[in-house]
Amino acid sequence: MPRDTIFLQTSLSDFIVRLTAALDADGSTPKDTVAALMRDMIDEIDLAPHLTSPANDCGYSRNIVHTDPKGRFSVLAIEWLPGAMTAIHGHRAWGCVGVAEGTIGCDMFELVNEETHQVRLSDFIEAGKGAIAAVDPKPCGIHRLYNRGTSRAVTLHVYGIDLSTDPCCINVPYHF
């Protein structure tokens, strides 16, 4: 069998090593660098060994698998059970998300009132395996993710913030 037809599974460690090297060498926007690398590798990364946390009350588990020693980024593997849904939120830093398994829905919102964090639904998408999305910090990119399928979904997240001391400091809550 020719080598190019063999599926080669990549460890998450390989992704992190390549990501760190790319950020060390590249002067471009980190979000763009991460998104490009994630596009190249998402179909090969094995996240299963990193899905160790139990699901929260919203039906998903957040697993922080790496924080950059220089504080430039954090990497999470998230498992979404059927029916899982986040609260409406934005982020305090750039981020990239890749769908490694299943399908994830994303409702997008626009800010109605900055003072009260009130939003209104503006669009939605469904993203399957291999899809990559990037998000900018608040007030851009206000969204909520969900799994409306009947089987689990798994996503890889990289955020431009150190989550080692406060795993939820990336989120900015919003409401209807």
Reading the chain (176 residues) residue by residue, the pLDDT tens digits are 344 444 445 789 999 999 999 888 866 678 888 999 999 999 999 999 999 999 999 999 999 999 999 998 999 999 999 999 999 999 999 999 999 999 999 999 999 998 999 999 999 999 999 999 998 887 788 999 999 999 999 999 999 999 998 888 888 899 88
Annotated binding site for Fe cation: 89, 91, 143
Sign of CA dihedral 130, 131, 137, 138: negative
Q: What is the pLDDT of residue 9?
A: 57
From CA 16, how far away is CA 131, in angstroms rounded? Answer: 19
The pLDDT, as a whole number, for residue 150 is 97
Q: Which CATH number fits domain 3-173: 2.60.120.10, 3.40.50.970, 3.30.360.10, 3.30.450.40?
A: 2.60.120.10
DSSP3 helix / strand / coil % (the chain, rounded to 5): 20, 40, 40
| Token pair in block for residue 13 | 């460690």
Whether omega for the bond prior to residue 139 falls within 30 degrees of 0, making it cis, is yes
Binding residues: 89, 91, 143
d(CA 88, CA 175): 6
Q: What is the pLDDT of residue 7?
A: 43
